[in-house]
Amino acid sequence: MERHRWLKVAIFACLVAFSVGREFRLNHKHSGDAISFNHTLAEILVQYASAAYISDLTELFTWTCSRCDDLTQGFEVIELVVDVQHCLQSYVGVSKSLNAIVIAFRGTQENSIQNWIEDLYWKQLDQMYPGMPDAMVHHGFYFAYHNTTIRPAIVSAVERARKFYGNLDIMVTGHSMGGAMAAFCGLDLAVSHNYQNVQVMTFGQPRIGNAVFASYYSNIVPNTFRVTNGNDIVPHLPPFYSYFPRKTYRHFPREVWLYDVGFGSFIYQVEKVCDGSGEDPSCCR
């Protein structure tokens, strides 16, 4: 009995996820572009996001690290981008199987993660996003991408890759703080460099700006997914207060929430595609 009940719950949850996904596609019909969450692509991009943490730069450059196999085989690194002063690391390369330029950003390193998370509670919206009236972001995330050696190195690597391989898609990814940088990078490539085919998929990304920023962002980089996991605190930070929705941080859409339903040995992984608000109250956020 118990087993059937949970099975029903799981099936119901999947139907909800499916119908929400369908609604999303309908909503976006007018833009002529049906963007749906691609689970296979997420499994590939999470490998790229994870590889950004590898500290052995030779292994990373030659794509011979232990995480650099199966799903990402044949990846060609164009440029490793390391900012030692600010402790940032990312890379740009070409995936022939995805037919895309992949850009991945490292998150905060393990030894400083606790402090970093504690700091996240107090981050102020203290930086205007240039060219977008009333859009505010956190200066720390903004400057990590915009005011370090990272941005010029990434932009020039993307230009080189496109010169050599043609007009490939651009996929930007990262985990945690790397996800925040991935979002700024995707937005920058679309706004300042006018690239049309930019996709962003982040994993466990914190909030980076206010509601006005989120709205600009989602218009400019509509092909964005934020994958969240039920047990992760980072996507809840810096906090969103629903009673001050325009004054606080706000996520941009679209969240895809991975969580387990079930009980005992009947656990089902549910993947819920959340609504277009960025702060779907029935999701992890």
Ligand X SMILES: *[C@@H]1O[C@H](CO)[C@@H](O)[C@H](O)[C@H]1NC(C)=O
Question: Which residues of this protein are in contact with ligand X, per CB under 6 A?
Answer: 38, 40-41, 98, 143, 147
Q: What is the DSSP code string of 66-128?
A: TTSSGGGTT-EEEEEEEETTTTEEEEEEEETTTTEEEEEE----GGGHHHHHHHHTT----EE
CB of 214 to ligand X, least distance (A): 23
- First and final CA of the chain: distance in angstroms? 33
Phi, psi of 118 (to 5 degrees): -60, -45
Coil vs helix vs strand at 35: coil
Q: Could you give the dihedral angle defined by the CA atoms of residues 209, 213, 215 and 221, in that order, rounded to the nearest 10 degrees?
A: -90
In the complex with ligand X, which residue's Cβ is closer, 124 or 147? 147
In the complex with ligand X, which residue's Cβ is closer, 127 or 215? 127
CB of 127 to ligand X, least distance (A): 8
> How far apart are alpha carbons 255 and 274 in whole angstroms?
5
CB of 40 to ligand X, least distance (A): 4
CB of 94 to ligand X, least distance (A): 14
In the complex with ligand X, which residue's Cβ is closer, 65 or 201? 201
CB of 58 to ligand X, least distance (A): 28
In the complex with ligand X, which residue's Cβ is closer, 169 or 275? 169
Of 10, 67, 57, 25, nearest to 254 by C-alpha is 25
> How far apart are alpha carbons 51 and 120 in whole angstroms?
24
Tokens 């929430």, located at residue: 257
CB of 54 to ligand X, least distance (A): 22
In the complex with ligand X, which residue's Cβ is closer, 200 or 234? 200
What tokens appear for 8 in the block?
Answer: 């029903």
In the complex with ligand X, which residue's Cβ is closer, 116 or 143? 143
